[in-house]
Chains A and B, each alone.
Chain A
Amino acid sequence: MFRRTIPTILAFVVGVFMIVQFFVPHPVLQTLYNMVLDWKQVVFGCVLIVGTLTLVRHHAVRIRFRKQGYGYSVIALVSLFAMVLAGAVWGIEKGPYPWLFDYVQIPGQATMFSLLGFFIATAAYRSFRARNVTATLLLLSGVIVMLGRVPAGEHIAVAGVSLSDLATWILDYPNNAAKRGILIGVGLGMTSTALKIIIGIERSYLGKGD
């Protein structure tokens, strides 16, 4: 009962309430709506705590059993506790916390993300091959958008149309049409899943067992 019936009833009541309050702007419903949003943020805060504890546990186990690459786990935990300690002792406005953020976290994350540029370049070289009609279309549109989205594309023309205009056309029409189709599909999928959860047909979020 506590594992399945009560959560299902709760999901139904809250789900129906959220639908009704959207269409009925009565003050009582608005107050309840704000209360639900308050709770949602509190629950999210608790999820952050659970997430941090899970992260610590995961890396602690890797270090304890000396799993391959456990050195990275040591770095992850030392970094985590160093930031927490720096913020708790000296505050987040001055002292080691902003220094660590400005001179370790920012360059570290920016460097890791920048490396993607090199991988994408080699991936493009290997993957963009005119193997068949579909691959050739992908190759051509990729090249047009790559050149059309930089100033060079404004000076290169194919049959009197600049690559920049061609890239804009690709993004405005084929890309837009595909994205709209995907968005409509996602929207319908979300609506049907939400209805299934509210009605109680979809219960996988309750986990396994009785």
Chain B
Amino acid sequence: MADSSRMTRTIIYWGVALSIVIPLLRPIGFTTEVSSQVRDVYDFIEAMPENSPVIMSFDYEPATLAELDPMAEAMLKHLFRKNARVMGMTLLPGGVGLAENLLRQEAAAANMEYGHNWLFLGYVPDGTAAMLRMGENVAMVFPTDQYGTPLDSFPMMRGVKNYRHIGLVICYSSTAMPQLWAQYAHDRYGAAVAVGATAVEAVRLYPYHDSGQMVGFLGGLKGAAEYETLIESPGDGIRGMDAQTISHVFIVVMIILGNVGYAASTWRSKGAPSGRTHAPVA
């Protein structure tokens, strides 16, 4: 029994590994439909006036960058095309390096100038207090940028005091942070909030989108792929869709096989399928 269980586990591990690696090495080119939640975010940014200030909060750490980096990358591309003034920040210490790398990379690719088109505010502890205080005055939370330059010395900060002067707040997260942004920044101060969340977290966001507390949201790698489709700039999201599709199909096939085995074993032992006992263990 133990040998069979180990064998099954080995087959599943190899199957998952190959179903991810092979499509990444030899892309198939699956295309994906765009959901209403993602289209709403895209349409909102499209409708924003040129040069609008946008806060981008990178509230995630390296563990979930595979899902969240592609969507942040795609949205930065879109925002820079619209000449938005992007203020990067993070509410998690591990997000500093990730945010900084991504902002620098995309700003360099779009020829955007630091202080005029984008800046990095850095990390601030206590997310809820920071969200609330930014509703009063952003400079109260971030008197300087990450590198110690006073915020009011940047040309892009002219006329920007609080959420009233900010076109959109975008939060990328694998935790409950997006709900807090909706509850504090939107509900209390009326800020428009968009979210990029991991697929697991995204299922919690539907009520917030339906109630209008969120402009929309991107869920998991598929959300990133949908956004890349909308901005016509294929990236890691679209590339990852092949691997995600094959691995999901593989897992579904394994679930079906598991159920066939379960049905066969209950039939043999009892003559008809019933009860919770006699389940074969992988």
Q: Which residues of A contact B (CB under 8 A)?
A: 30, 34, 37-38, 40-41, 44-45, 48, 92-93, 98, 101-102, 105-110, 112-114, 117-118, 121-122, 124-126, 128-132, 139, 142-143, 146-147, 149-152, 154, 164, 168, 171-172, 175-176, 179-180, 183
Quick one: which of A34, A107, A131, A149 contacts B222, CB cutoff 8 A? A149
Interface membership of B247, Cβ < 8 A = yes
Task: Kindly list chain B residues whose C-beta atoms are within 8 Å of the C-beta of A150.
Answer: 30, 32, 222, 241, 244-245, 248-249
In chain B, positions 230-282 with a C-beta closer than 8 Å to chain A are 241, 244-245, 247-252, 254-255, 257-259, 262-263, 275-276, 279, 281-282
Known A98-B97, A152-B249; further 7 A-B contacts with Cβ < 8 A: A30-B136, A37-B132, A108-B62, A122-B282, A131-B276, A152-B245, A154-B33
CB-based contact A180/B207 at 8 Å: yes
Chain B contributes a number of interface residues (CB within 8 A of A) equal to: 64
In chain B, positions 31-46 with a C-beta closer than 8 Å to chain A are 31-33, 35
CB-based contact A109/B61 at 8 Å: yes
Q: List 15 A-B contacts (CB under 8 A).
A: A41-B125, A106-B65, A109-B62, A110-B62, A113-B64, A117-B247, A122-B13, A124-B254, A125-B8, A125-B254, A126-B258, A129-B262, A129-B279, A150-B245, A151-B33
A106 and B245 in contact, given A41-B126, A125-B12, A125-B254 (Cβ under 8 angstroms): no
CB-based contact A44/B259 at 8 Å: no
Interface membership of B210, Cβ < 8 A = yes
Quick one: which of B96, B129, B206 contacts A40, CB cutoff 8 A? B129
List the 7 closest pairs (A to B, CB-CB), nearest first: A44-B126, A151-B30, A113-B63, A109-B62, A150-B245, A106-B62, A40-B129
Quick one: which of A44, A101, A139 contacts B255, CB cutoff 8 A? A139
Task: Kindly list chain B residues whose C-beta atoms are within 8 Å of the C-beta of A130.
Answer: 259, 262-263
Interface membership of B140, Cβ < 8 A = yes
Secondary structure at the B interface, as helix, strand, loop or mixed, is helix
A44 and B125 in contact, given A150-B222, A152-B30 (Cβ under 8 angstroms): yes
CB-based contact B207/A106 at 8 Å: no
Give the CA-CA distance A125 to B262 in the complex, in Å: 11
Quick one: which of A102, A128, A139, A179 contacts B97, CB cutoff 8 A? A102
Task: Kindly list chain A residues whose C-beta atoms are within 8 Å of the C-beta of B206.
Answer: 171-172, 175-176, 179
Task: Kindly list chain B residues whose C-beta atoms are within 8 Å of the C-beta of A176.
Answer: 206-207, 210
Give the CA-CA distance A154 to B245 in the complex, in Å: 11
Task: Kindly list chain B residues whose C-beta atoms are within 8 Å of the C-beta of A164.
Answer: 33
Nearest CB in chain B: distance from A179 CB, A: 5
CB-based contact B222/A44 at 8 Å: no
A37 and B129 in contact, given A102-B97, A131-B276 (Cβ under 8 angstroms): yes
Closest residue of A by beta carbon distance from B97:
A101
Closest residue of A by beta carbon distance from B241:
A151
In chain B, positions 2-45 with a C-beta closer than 8 Å to chain A are 8-9, 12-13, 15-17, 20, 30-33, 35
